[in-house]
Structures are given as C-alpha cells and as structure tokens.
Amino acid sequence: MSSRNEEVLKLKNKIIECQQEALRLLQEKQGWPAKSNLMQQTKERAVADLTRQSTETSEFDKELIDLYKALKREEKSETNLKDIFDETQASHEEHRKAMEKKVIEVECTLDTVDKRLSAMLENRVEMGKRLENLNVFYEAVYSTLKSKKSNSVSLVKEAQRDHPDGQNGPKMRKRRGSKKSQ
C-alpha cells in the first residue's frame, strides 16, 4: 500500500499544482481585459505615432522637395550671375582695349602737339629776338631821324647820299645778243 499511498500523494500534489495553475490562469485571465486595454492603448499610440511620423515624413518630404526646388533656383541664379559676370567682364575687356587704343592715339597726338609746341616756342624765341633786333633798329632809326630832323637835313637827300643808285642799288643793263651759258 505504501506505493498506492505514494501514488495518491503524488496525484494529490498534482491536483494541488493543477488547482494552483488554474487559479493562476484564472487570475491571469482576469487581468487580460486590463492588458487588452493596455495593448489597445499601446496600439492606438503606435498608430498615432505612425500617423504623426507619416505626416512628419510627408511634411519632411515636402520641405525636402521645397529645398530641392530652392537649390535648383539658386543654381540657376548662380548660372545667370556667372553669365552676366562673363558678359560684363568681356565688355570691360573690350572697353579696356578701346581705352588703351585711345590712350595710344592721345599719346601720339600729345607727342605731335608737343613737337609743334616746341617748334612754336623756338619760333617765338626767334621772333622775340627778331622783334628785339627790330626794336633796336627802330630805336636807332628813330634816333637818327630825330637827330637829322633837328639838324634840318633833308632825309631824301641823305638817303640818296647813302645810296647813290637808290634803295635797290645800281641797275644792271641787259646786253643785247649775249646769252648766259646754262
């Protein structure tokens, strides 16, 4: 019997374990609605998060598209500015070359004017010397005339005495029949 008692004891223990397990399962089953509510809330939060993230992703995608479009506009503006800069630089280069050519022309003109001015100054100096000589001559003639007038001498007679053949000197007569050799 002892083996039977042992078996009964084992079975009783097994029944007690099963009852404890059933009790535990029953308690767990009673917690299922709360867990179900918690899981439902978690699910709803997850769905809300996914929706929000989807919206944020959609907004992010929109912002990304807007930024991409802005980048393309900036690149186009940069290209336009580069073209304008290149055109301006080419125009400036043409203008600079034209100005260099004009400067060369002006320098040539200034050299010519400088040479002419130097020649004019030389002529002016020479004319000044001539004028000075004429003034000296005039003073001499005037003083001579004044002194002769005061002496009551006839100027015409005096001139004839100084130049017996007149102012042009003696006149040469041409010979007939004689030719100069060439």
Q: What is the pLDDT of residue 158?
A: 55
Average of per-residue pLDDT across 80-98: 94
Give residue 172's region: left, alpha or beta (phi > 0; psi -120 to 50).
Answer: beta
Burial string for 138-170 (b: 16+ CB within 10 Å, else e) reads eeeeeeeeeeeeeeeeeeeeeeeeeeeeeeeee
Phi first, then psi, for residue 153 (nearest 5°) are -100, 140
Give the closest residue to 24 by CA, choosing from 34, 35, 32, 36: 32
Average of per-residue pLDDT across 130-147: 87
Domain ranges in the chain are 2-111
Average of per-residue pLDDT across 90-113: 95
Average of per-residue pLDDT across 42-49: 92
Helix (H) / strand (E) containing 8:
helix 2-150
pTM of this structure: 0.38
Whole-number Cα distances in Å, 9 to 6, 13, 21, 22: 5, 6, 18, 19
Average of per-residue pLDDT across 7-14: 92
CA dihedral 23, 26, 30, 35 (to 10 degrees): 100
